[in-house]
Structure 1
């Protein structure tokens, strides 16, 4: 006969012959019980096919093992990849990751955080939308729940921020483009959603002027996170209007650059180095698709692994301290130049 269906931990304790506190202790930390007890519990789990409702269990705890991970857009392979690395660190540390995407919607971003409140997370790793985020409500959440920001920095929000050094990375690729050809213009969205875009614009102006050249901004109209579409439509417009002050374009991010590469192809412009090439295009981020564009995209690589690891470790330290840091910490990692066919 089939074993009876176990509905809760009390019933599991009764059929397994193990006390409820011991079972609870096992689910919180399997290594905290004796090996013989652990084997007995795991045999009973297999026999009765029981898995506890961890979310219900968490309602009775002051501190849970849940870690929220909230990113702007899960459909973007950049965020999917960095979230995957963070998940691995969270799992390795004995926590349970709860991954949520905001889909570029500031209301959904707040809903995600409020839903995380319901499961009493030990802490949250948050990549905020940026300009469109409800900063006041984010601040209220961060005041209640240990929170570390990554990727996009909103000043004074959360206990810490981990991201890329845009001054260093933009300076690196501007120097390379100037050294190997014409000084670049900077292609960006006029009103960007991500704070990194504004930092990169400022870094471009600073670095191009330091090299003795005049900055040129090519500003695209558009809203939201459909960067490839904006890069394509606005790149097409700029090309058709013959509004290019140089044959070298540095894009604020790789997704804009991917759209611009498509626009150049549609216009019959060959992109790359050497004879017959009308345009050089470079980006920033080393987006997972950038190595498969045609031509492959020259860019600056963010250190995904270092950002993910430091973000997770900073949050674990914050949780272990049982209090907020004395001052907000910021950690920035250098980018690495990735030379490919487009520039």
Structure 2
């Protein structure tokens, strides 16, 4: 056997003189190539120190060119947008994406993964529900199929996570709101569905401390994905009761902020930067509808394109590698402040 370790299929193709597509075809199904070709591949495997991909090239697991994409709630335009970005990247790389929604239901999330497992995908990109997710089921799934999480992280699950740096983004917003007016209160759900909410609350506490201001957190009852309704009913009541000690509110996400803006309008509470406005409201995520609210919502934009590109390229790197990654990778992107008329 050669002393040189062959790191990937490209190197094996180069030293063996067998084309990359032929090798891929052989490793997916040895019976799919001619007997003479099969013998050449097997002779080369005996001569060179190379073992096929731990995941996609396992001879006992016939994979496809399918990539599963699972998002928590496809009716939410935020996930529609980021799901579309990931989908486009897969198509550009020559894979066939299968986009599924978990509809905010952990049982449906598990069913989606089981359905994908039966389809033998090359890999899966998962934006998990988070707190409600069945971590054990997802971890087990990742032992059989290459898995990259995006948007919401579940610690120590999957081979990688790609998302936004919530501590950077919330600090950016808090610093701006403190610099431009009264320091913000923080409005969130008491039982948030998405783990990003917990990071944003902690980031708010830390940022307010750095700015030298007291933190004020207000938590709304309710759970699930009806954020606008909760923002309107619970946030609206706080506005009516004059419960906020400052005239500025940072909502944990844009959908809560959109609901609060609607409640403010209904109750003749003017929001914005004009002298006769009594409140400022800001959000996080740059929801596709945030630029069309009245007034347009000041928020933090997440870099959809960068997140999609990194998630897809990370997954493809795992698929093409010859072994499972030794360590789990995390990639976080900075958010960008989007200043509009609401704050």
Q: Output the TM-score relative to the length of structure 1.
A: 0.82
SS of 2:143's equivalent in the other structure is helix
Q: How far did 1:237 drift?
A: 1.7
Aligned twin of 1:77: 77
1:193 aligns with 2:187: no
Unaligned runs of 5+ in 2: 1-21, 29-59
Aligned twin of 1:305: 305
Aligned length: 289
Q: Deviations over 1:85-112 (max 9, x none)?
A: 1111101111110000000000000000
Aligned twin of 1:175: 175
Equivalent positions of 1:1-343 (< 5 A) are 62-343=62-343
SS of 1:144's equivalent in the other structure is coil
CA distance in 2, matches of 1:259, 1:243: 17
CA distance in 2, matches of 1:281, 1:332: 26
CA distance in 1, matches of 2:134, 2:63: 26
Aligned twin of 1:8: none
Unaligned runs of 5+ in 1: 1-21, 29-59
SS of 1:199's equivalent in the other structure is helix
Q: Deviations over 1:187-239 (max 9, x none)?
A: 00011010000000000000011110000001111110111111111012212
Aligned twin of 2:49: none
Q: How far did 1:323 drift?
A: 2.5
Choose between structure 1 and 2 for higher RCO, CA contacts under 8 A separated by at least 6 residues.
2
Q: How far did 1:241 drift?
A: 2.2
CA distance in 2, matches of 1:174, 1:162: 24
Q: Output the TM-score relative to the length of structure 2.
A: 0.82
Q: Deviations over 1:18-70 (max 9, x none)?
A: xxxx9xx8xx9xxxxxxxxxxxxxxxxxxxxxxxxxxxxxxx96121110000
Q: How far did 1:83 drift?
A: 0.8
CA distance in 2, matches of 1:323, 1:124: 17
Aligned twin of 1:46: none
CA distance in 2, matches of 1:236, 1:257: 10
CA distance in 2, matches of 1:183, 1:240: 20
Q: Deviations over 1:276-320 (max 9, x none)?
A: 101000000001000000000000100000000000000000000
Structure 1's consecutive aligned runs of 4 or more residues displaced over 2 angstroms after TM superposition are none
CA distance in 1, matches of 2:322, 2:67: 15
